[in-house]
Structure 1
Amino acid sequence: MDFVKFEPISIRNHPELNERWVQDRIAEDPSILGLGDVVLKDRERMQPKAGRLDLLLQDVESSRRYEVEIQLGATDESHIIRTIEYWDIERKRYPQYEHTAVIVAEDITSRFLNVINLFNGTIPLIAIQMRALQSGGKVGLVFTTIVDLLSLGLVDEDEEGQEPTDRAYWETRGSKKTVAMADQLLTIAKAHDPTLELKYNKFYIGLARNGQPCNFVVFRPKKGFIRFEVRLRNSPETQERLESAGLDVMDYDNRWGYYRIRLQPGELDKHKLILSDVIAEAYAASAQK
């Protein structure tokens, strides 16, 4: 293969390229943003008394919509406020959908990265850094997710009402065999962090590090099987990979961001390789947040 040296360029300062050009490229192929299998729903969408939303994208496999605002150059106050305002307008107009605000900018500055991280967890928000690269008179775009979507309410376990339980509770609610499967899955997870331990809650068994929730995977033991839930971005490729490996994928929880997989006693050894892979991916994604 021939090595090609790419030269970074500024779209904001380029004599020919502009925001319209960026919009056109994303509209042609929305998947370049890295948001999964999404399609263009609308562009330059009029907002009542608030200007125009650059791009509205929709996930083809779920009810999630992305309100996308593009900023040439560095992020600034008006860009962040405008993005959140358009997200708020759209979610109120179309409450039947799940809405996520997306900021795309050439430079996600450290100052505003801190501000964006403050919003994330209360407002579903993704920050994507856009880089233009030039080689031989041709220009390409590279998009890197700097701040990813956090599932609201999971970190502090609000859905459980802060009600801890114990192993005996789950061995009664499920069975000793299925709770033992949680031990085996914990062993796989501990390859990435030996300090992880099981945390018994009223509605699921989670993971904890030094007593604090670390729920990139959770377990729900039943009488005859365990429901293994792993936090991964929803995509057709991931779905196909899981199913091709022979896993019983029940569904995807769009609200919390988990694939829900049914595992029967005796199946862990059979699926150890794929389970190790997805646990590693989920752990790596959680470590970036």
Structure 2
Amino acid sequence: MSKLISAKKISLKNHPEIREDAIQKFIFDNPNVLGLGELEPIRREKIQVSGGRLDILLADDNGTRYEVEIQLGATDPSHIIRTIEYWDNERKRYPQYDHCAVIVAEEITGRFMNVIQLFNGAIPLIAMQIQAVKVGDDIQLSFVKVLDRVSYAVDEEDEVEPTDRNYWNKKSDVIKYVDEIFEDVIEYAPGFELNYNKYYIGVRKNGISQNFISFKPKKKFIYLNVKCGDDSNYIEELNEAGVEYTYDSRGRGLRLKISKMEEYKVNKAVFEKVIKEAMERKNIE
């Protein structure tokens, strides 16, 4: 039978041996402890063109980068300003990614919580508190999200910057996946054509964008974004088929990852159901 024990909460800031760089390294080596999904560590102590160093840069597989700043003790104005400044630097330098600022501190005070909430929404920002307890000779860390990012749904039509086929040929080695999938789509959505934009490939009919689906080719795989809402009718089928997906709250639908065309061909019936659901929601016949 498990024993119940009490743990002693400690202050990392006042600990004689623990330094901020140790916490930084722990998060960088174990990024999933933040509870933000499957994250890949990109860089520690990234030098900024405007001066200073970003503590940690992380990324997920959906094209989001997280600019993480750590502070032992309570938040202070310079910490908040630095976090936002580094986030702003990175998003301007790498606009092809979605960016989110992350503040990690031992204490996020009520006063600064109010300040952070003013930015939230206008600035994608997550606030997390570190809790440290001593267990024997070890220190156990846990991370509690006290303020989550507010995401506003955005239609791709609002982010249009036209490009052409050559632009995507240079960016992706698997652009042919888009062609093969779209050949199937126009069998039940006749009259549509591909619409090439800077950040995605949408679809249009008679010159008008109607992005019930859109494609985001990467170097070696593509994302198929399907605006089927948060309907879970097909989640079980996708799981059984082994299709890799995430729910895209900004795009109000599913983001399906296709690494090989065989994955699509074997599960074509499931993909077709999800796409037709999106068509129904857009009243496309």
SS of the counterpart of 1:100? strand
Structure 2 partner of 1:52: 53
Of the three residues 274, 280, 284, the one matched with 1:262 is 274
Of the three residues 232, 239, 245, the one matched with 1:244 is 239
Structure 2 partner of 1:38: 39
Instruction: Assess if the C-alpha contact under 8 Å between 2:12 and 2:73 holds in 1.
Output: yes
Q: CA deviation at 1:241?
A: 6.9
Structure 1 partner of 2:100: 100
Structure 1 partner of 2:248: 253
Which runs of 5 or more residues in structure 2 are unaligned?
Answer: 159-209, 211-225, 256-272, 278-285
In 1, Cα distance between equivalents of 2:6 and 2:133: 9
Q: CA deviation at 1:262?
A: 3.2
Structure 2 partner of 1:166: none
* 1:181-260 mapped onto 2 (5 Å cutoff): 228-230=228-230, 243-244=238-239, 252-253=247-248, 255-256=250-251, 258-259=253-254
Q: CA deviation at 1:3?
A: 2.0
In 2, Cα distance between equivalents of 1:258 and 1:83: 30
Change (3 A) 1:32 1:241: farther
Q: Deviations over 1:192-248 (max 9, x none)?
A: xxxxxxxxxxx9xxxxxxxxxxxxxxxxxxxxxx9642399xxxxxx9877337899
Structure 1 partner of 2:90: 90
Question: 2:120 corresponds to which letter in structure 1?
Answer: N
Question: 1:34 corresponds to which letter in structure 2?
Answer: G
Structure 2 partner of 1:137: 137
In 1, Cα distance between equivalents of 2:231 and 2:34: 20
Which runs of 5 or more residues in structure 1 are unaligned?
Answer: 161-202, 204-225, 233-238, 266-289
Q: Deviations over 1:234-275 (max 9, x none)?
A: xxxxx987733789997643644754793989xxxxxxxxxx
Change (3 A) 1:248 1:115: same
Q: Report % sequence identity.
A: 47
In 2, Cα distance between equivalents of 1:135 and 1:241: 41
Instruction: Assess if the C-alpha contact under 8 Å between 1:122 and 1:152 holds in 2.
Output: no
Question: 1:116 corresponds to which letter in structure 2?
Answer: I
**TM-score when normalising by structure 1:** 0.58
In 2, Cα distance between equivalents of 1:57 and 1:251: 18
How many residues align? The count is 192
SS of the counterpart of 1:55? strand
SS of the counterpart of 1:230? coil
In 2, Cα distance between equivalents of 1:231 and 1:64: 23
In 2, Cα distance between equivalents of 1:114 and 1:151: 18
SS of the counterpart of 2:229? strand
Structure 1 partner of 2:186: none
In 2, Cα distance between equivalents of 1:258 and 1:30: 26
Structure 2 partner of 1:127: 127
Instruction: Assess if the C-alpha contact under 8 Å between 2:107 and 2:130 holds in 1.
Output: yes
Q: CA deviation at 1:71?
A: 0.9
RMSD between aligned residues: 3.4
Instruction: Assess if the C-alpha contact under 8 Å between 2:69 and 2:102 holds in 1.
Output: yes
Question: 2:100 corresponds to which letter in structure 1?
Answer: T
Change (3 A) 1:122 1:48: same
Q: Deviations over 1:148-181 (max 9, x none)?
A: 1111357xx9x89xxxxxxxxxxxxxxxxxxxxx
